[in-house]
């Protein structure tokens, strides 16, 4: 398989589904729905939805069934970016080269657009013809996995500790606490939900959970490395923005070479976790390479 073709086909399907699932721009209040769509369609790489679809595929599931949950995940990711960018938080004027939500719509509407996107995710997950079309027991588990990953002991918790650590020297366990929650939690949840919706048995679910935890951390180590060595385009952040902000990163704590070694190690451990799975897991294997190899 060619990963580039695979990814662009997947991203197109996700973008199309997002366009259908999000309230239209002319639905009242139009300003709010415009702001929600502005950020959702701001050039995201859709890495979490792609991983969810790939995990579903890896256990022989029907990829179509996963689209609502995959889009819900992207809405949650987008809300977190809108709130992270706010003046009271990271105070970023640009993301992926476009003005951030509060620069375009004002701070109040940006806060509310984030709130609405988070809520919209759960509307979609519980919609009888969308996320709620699957078995209701699985639907409840999917909602729970996603909510926990996004919550106070998941993504938001990671964001809080990250914020509290700015400009302070932190140790490796704290850095891993931040990363496994701030980015890792949603990535792991995406993979677990893909597995569940795809009908994974317990062994496959466990294997994919191991893959998700390792790939999620690898993604963050690679992200930290790319923040230093360039490739602004790849991850959509400004080069050197972590350093400028005094944020702790793997290269700052471990050095560049040791960080690269660690990223490769995590990639190999992620690949190892996939061994019990068959050829359906090929996209997940290639994505693990894709995440890590450009930073190493």
Site residues, a copy of itself (CB under 8 A): 23, 27-29, 31-33, 36, 79, 83, 86, 88-89, 106-109, 111-112, 114-116, 118-120, 122-123, 125-128, 132, 135-137, 139-141, 143-144, 147-148, 150-153, 156-157, 159-161, 163-164, 177
At closest approach, how far in Å is the CB of 163 from a copy of itself? Answer: 6
d(CA 237, CA 226): 9
At closest approach, how far in Å is the CB of 114 from a copy of itself? Answer: 8
At closest approach, how far in Å is the CB of 37 from a copy of itself? Answer: 11
Give whichever of 86 and 254 is closer to a copy of itself, judged by the CB atom: 86
Burial of 38 (0-12, 13-18, 19+ CB in 10 A): buried
Give whichever of 81 and 277 is closer to a copy of itself, judged by the CB atom: 81
Give whichever of 1 and 172 is closer to a copy of itself, judged by the CB atom: 172
* 99, β-bridge pairs: 94
At closest approach, how far in Å is the CB of 49 from a copy of itself? Answer: 19
At closest approach, how far in Å is the CB of 92 from a copy of itself? Answer: 13
At closest approach, how far in Å is the CB of 140 from a copy of itself? Answer: 5
Give whichever of 7 and 82 is closer to a copy of itself, judged by the CB atom: 82
Give whichever of 141 and 264 is closer to a copy of itself, judged by the CB atom: 141
Give whichever of 69 and 139 is closer to a copy of itself, judged by the CB atom: 139
At closest approach, how far in Å is the CB of 271 from a copy of itself? Answer: 31
Give whichever of 54 and 139 is closer to a copy of itself, judged by the CB atom: 139
At closest approach, how far in Å is the CB of 8 from a copy of itself? Answer: 30
Give whichever of 148 and 210 is closer to a copy of itself, judged by the CB atom: 148
> Which H, E and C letters describe the chain, residue by residue?
CCHHHHHHHHHHHHHHHHHHHCCCCCCCCHHHHHHHHHHHCCCCCCHHHHHHHHHHHHCCCCHHHHHHHHHHHHHHHHHHHHHHHCCCCCCCCEECCEECHHHHHCHHHHHHHHHHHHHHHHHHHCCCCCHHHCCHHHHHHHHHHHHHHHCCCCHHHHHHHHHHHCCCCCCHHHHHHHHHHHCHHHHHHHHHHHHHHCCCCHHHHHHHHHHHHHHHHHHHHHHHHHHHHCCHHHHCCCCCHHHHCCCCCHHHHHCHHHHHHHHHHHHHHHHHHCCCCCHHHHHHHHHHHHHHHCCC
Residues 6+ apart with CB under 8 A from 177: 158, 161
């Amino acid at each position: 398989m060619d990963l580039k073709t695979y990814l662009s086909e997947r991203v197109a399907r996700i973008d199309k589904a997002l366009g259908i699932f999000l309230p239209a721009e002319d639905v009242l209040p139009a300003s709010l729905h415009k702001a929600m769509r502005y950020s959702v369609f701001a050039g995201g790489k859709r890495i979490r939805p792609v991983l969810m679809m790939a995990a579903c595929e890896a256990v022989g599931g029907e990829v179509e069934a996963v689209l609502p949950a995959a889009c819900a995940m992207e809405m949650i990711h987008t809300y977190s970016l809108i709130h992270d960018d706010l003046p009271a938080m990271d105070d970023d004027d640009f993301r992926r080269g476009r003005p951030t939500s509060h620069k375009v719509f004002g701070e109040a509407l940006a806060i509310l657009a984030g709130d609405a996107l988070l809520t919209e995710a759960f509307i979609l997950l519980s919609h009888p013809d969308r996320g709620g079309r699957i078995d209701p027991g699985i639907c409840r588990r999917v909602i729970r996995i996603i909510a926990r990953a996004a919550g106070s002991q998941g993504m938001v918790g990671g964001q809080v500790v990250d914020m509290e650590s700015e400009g302070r020297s932190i140790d490796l366990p704290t850095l891993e606490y931040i990363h496994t929650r701030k980015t890792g939690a949603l990535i792991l949840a995406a993979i677990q939900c893909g597995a569940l919706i795809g009908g994974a048995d317990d062994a496959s679910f466990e294997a994919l959970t191991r893959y998700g935890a390792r790939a999620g951390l690898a993604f963050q180590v690679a992200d930290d490395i790319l923040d230093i060595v360039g490739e602004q385009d790849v991850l959509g952040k400004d080069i050197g923005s972590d350093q400028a902000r005094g944020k702790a990163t793997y290269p700052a704590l471990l050095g560049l070479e040791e960080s690269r070694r660690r990223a490769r190690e995590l990639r190999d451990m992620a690949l190892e976790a996939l061994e019990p799975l068959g050829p359906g897991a090929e996209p997940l294997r290639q994505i693990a390479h894709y995440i890590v190899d450009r930073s190493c």
